[in-house]
Amino acid sequence: MAEQQVRSGGPIPGERILFLTGHLAWKSLQRVLDDMQPLPFEPRVLDIGINVAGLMTADLIRRRLPVDQVQADRIVVPGRCRGDLDALAQHYGVPVQRGPDEVKDLPMHFGRKAKKRVLDRHDVLIFAEIVDAPQVDVDAVLATARRYRRDGADVIDIGCLPDTDFPHMEDCIRALKAEGFQVSIDSLNTDDLLRGARAGADYLLSLKKSTLWVADEVDAIPVLIPDTPGDLDSLREAADIMTERGLPFYADPIIEPIHFGFTASIVRYHELRRTHPDIPIMMGVGNLTELTDADTSGINALLFGIISELRVGAVLATEVSPHARRAVKEADIARRVMFAAREDNALPRDYSGELMTTHQRRPFPDTPQEIADIAATVRDPNFRIQLSEQGVHIYNRDGMQVGTDPFALYPGLNVADDGAHAFYLGVELARAQIAWQLGRRYAQDEELDWGAAVEKKTQDLMAHCAPGTTLQRKAKRRPAEADPAPPDDTQDQA
């Protein structure tokens, strides 16, 4: 093992932190820590004798790092390190934790140039509407409700359709309540609202001043809307009546679509909050997310900024259009980000990247020169792929190619006689090309991270990564082509 004391002009006395890494990353890690000086801790970098730091495991660390070489108050391992770190901490007698996936993110990880990223609080209820409930059976309603709850919804909104029979409304509501859901019934027909409330619905969407009598008949909490679109006075009057009666409610001035009164409708929300600073307000975001051809993640971010500033307490989200298929999840993330930023009196930056589903702010952590320096140290035939602003870098001991088109890179790879190997590199180069084109992070052997746009696979870092299917073909290559890397340092990248 090669150890390198991090250079500094005299680190600030404090916690001693041991950073474990591999051959190819130790220079980058040292450089990043140097650039972070002065630090409130004493860093030390240790190369434990593995080429790729991301392939480190808890078992490998235990075999290669003697207890007497730790000499630290804490150990930090690569973010992709697999295995039981609690058991490792017991073995060494000091805490062991994962750092970030990328070395360049260490400043963010340790809180320098960053804000708190605790997103476990919010103050907005999400109502998620099942718009076609009258046309589907109870099981389908339950399946959608479970998905919405998994994505962050607090209340399942049962939508009614005009002039459409809904004979199983009560069955839907009772089934949802049996599974612990909060339920709202969504209709302008008072008969629907009364049926829903008597079946156990918790909220009514929506009542007008002229239909407030419904609130006297049932216990469900109503959402109030204007008598006619844009009529803020009637909404205020309805809210005042409910307040005088001491009954709970939400008031919704209603957002209009763009070019059909959108700006004026936002002004009405502001005006309602100005004249009624303490009443609960709801905002339905579907007229923007559903009726605008733009990524819903950005629309939700902006609307939840307004929601945060105006202290709106509930939103109604929908997923009707295919392009709005992640609107509920985006709403959940947005409410948490905006709450945290408001509590910090800060801009909503560096709390989460989940709403940046197309471009990222720091897509290329490595410069072309840094990649070239790493490539110069490689002594095996395994291909590594990295990105810089210049393009896709693919290299092994035989040299490096840089480009933006996988088809142009292919002839120089010399893998035409190895189908599995060629397939693997094709997949990785395609991922790298997409990431480079969009300006997103790329990590070899990892799926691209699309933020909230896709449902993430749960990754168990306690488990060891199983060999990829393409390794089966690699085992049959001629001995001269076999990888010389030791068993602890293998990966599905030929």
pLDDT tens by residue, 240-280: 999 999 999 999 999 999 999 999 999 999 999 999 999 99
The pLDDT value recorded for residue 31 is: 84
- Rounded alpha-carbon distances, angstroms, from residue 338 to 152, 155, 180, 341: 15, 20, 28, 5
Residue type, 442: Y
Q: Is pLDDT of 462 > 70?
A: no
pLDDT band at residue 464, thresholds of 50, 70 and 90?
low
The better pLDDT of the pair 493, 338 is held by 338
Q: What confidence tier does 483 reach under pLDDT thresholds 50, 70, 90?
A: very low
Q: How far is CA 65 from the centre of its chain?
A: 34
Q: Cα-Cα-Cα-Cα dihedral of 144, 150, 153, 154, to 10°?
A: 110
Give residue 41's pLDDT: 86
Q: Which residues of 87-108 are buried (b: 16+ CB within 10 A; e: fewer)?
A: ebbebbebebeebbbbbbbbeb
pLDDT higher than threshold 70 for residue 375: yes
Task: Retrieve residue 417's tokens.
Answer: 């006689």
pLDDT above 90 covers a percentage of the chain that reads 71
**Report for 11-25, 57-71, 183-197, 454-468: range of highest mean pLDDT:** 183-197
Contact in structure between 359 and 144 (CB atoms under 8 Å): no
Tell me, what's the pLDDT at 463?
A: 60
Give the pLDDT score at 6: 39
Most confident of 302-306, 367-371, 412-416: 302-306
What is the mean predicted confidence (pLDDT) over 452-476? Answer: 65
Res 475 pLDDT > 70: no
Query: Looking at residue 484, what is its pLDDT?
Result: 36
Place of tokens 């808890």: 58
pLDDT score of 138: 97
Q: Where are the domains of the chain?
A: 2-109, 125-343, 368-489
478 — pLDDT class (breaks 50, 70, 90):
very low
Q: What is the pTM of this model?
A: 0.79
Which has the higher per-residue pLDDT, 325 or 111?
325
Contact 174, 197 (CB under 8 A): no
Is pLDDT at 36 greater than 90 in this prediction?
no
What number of other Cβ atoms are within 10 A of residue 189's Cβ? 14
Span 227-241, pLDDT tens digits: 999 999 999 999 999
The rounded distance, in Å, linking the Cα atoms of 447 and 12 is 39
Q: CA–CA separation, 447 vs 464, rounded Å?
A: 17
pLDDT of 372 above 70: yes
* 176 in Cβ contact with 145 (< 8 Å): yes
pLDDT at 309 over 70: yes
Cα distance between residue 214 and residue 219, in whole Å: 9
pLDDT score, position 108: 76
Q: Pick the closest to residue 81 from 89, 69, 73 (CA basis).
A: 89
pLDDT for 470: 59
Instruction: Return the minimum-mean-pLDDT range out of 43-47, 195-199, 353-357.
Output: 43-47
The hierarchical CATH code for the domain 2-109 is 3.40.50.11600
pLDDT bin (cut points 50, 70, 90) of residue 142 is very high
Q: Is the predicted pLDDT of residue 492 greater than 80, yes or no?
A: no
- Return d(Cα 209, Cα 221) in angstroms, integer: 15
Mean pLDDT for the chain?
A: 88
Mean pLDDT of 324-332: 98
What type of residue is 376?
A: A
pLDDT band at 51 (very low <50, low <70, confident <90, very high): confident
Judged by average pLDDT, the poorest of 186-195, 344-353, 390-399, 425-434 is 344-353
What whole-number distance in Å separates Cα of residue 315 and Cα of residue 301?
Answer: 13
Query: What are the φ/ψ torsions at residue 182 (nearest 5 degrees)?
Result: -80, 140
Please give, one letter per residue, the 3-state secondary structure of 89-125: HHHHCCCEEECCCCHHHHHHHCCCCCCCCCCCCCCCE
Q: Which CATH number fits domain 125-343: 3.20.20.20, 3.40.50.1860, 3.20.10.10, 3.20.20.70?
A: 3.20.20.20
Three-state secondary structure of the chain: CEEEECCCCCCCCCEEEEEEECCCCHHHHHHHHHHCCCCCEEEEEEECCCCCHHHCEHHHHHHHCCHHHCCCCEEEECCCCECCHHHHHHHHCCCEEECCCCHHHHHHHCCCCCCCCCCCCCCCEEEEEECCHHHCCHHHHHHHHHHHHHCCCCEEEEECCCCCCCCCHHHHHHHHHHCCCEEEEECCCHHHHHHHHHCCCCEEEEECHHHCHHHHHCCCEEEECCCCCCCHHHHHHHHHHHHHHCCCCEECCCCCCCCCCHHHHHHHHHHHHHHCCCCCEEEECHHHHCCCCCCHHHHHHHHHHHHHHHCCCEEEECCCCHHHCCHHHHHHHHHHHHHHHHHCCCCCCCCCCCCCCCCCCCCCCCCHHHHHHHHCCCCCCCCEEEEECCEEEEEECCEEEEECCHHHHHHHHCCCCCHHHHHHHHHHHHHHHHHHHHCCCCCCCCCCCCHHHCCCCCCCCCCCCCCCCHHHHHCCCCHHHCCCCCHHHCCCCC
Contact 327, 296 (CB under 8 A): yes
| pLDDT tier at 107, thresholds 50, 70, 90 | confident
pLDDT at 85 over 60: yes
Q: Is the peptide bond before 38 cis (omega within 30 degrees of 0)?
A: yes
Residues in the chain: 494
Tell me, what's the pLDDT at 7? Answer: 36
Name the residue with higher pLDDT: 49 or 153. 153
pLDDT of residue 102: 81
Arithmetic mean of pLDDT, 5-22: 64
Question: Which one is predicted more confidently, 274 or 473?
Answer: 274
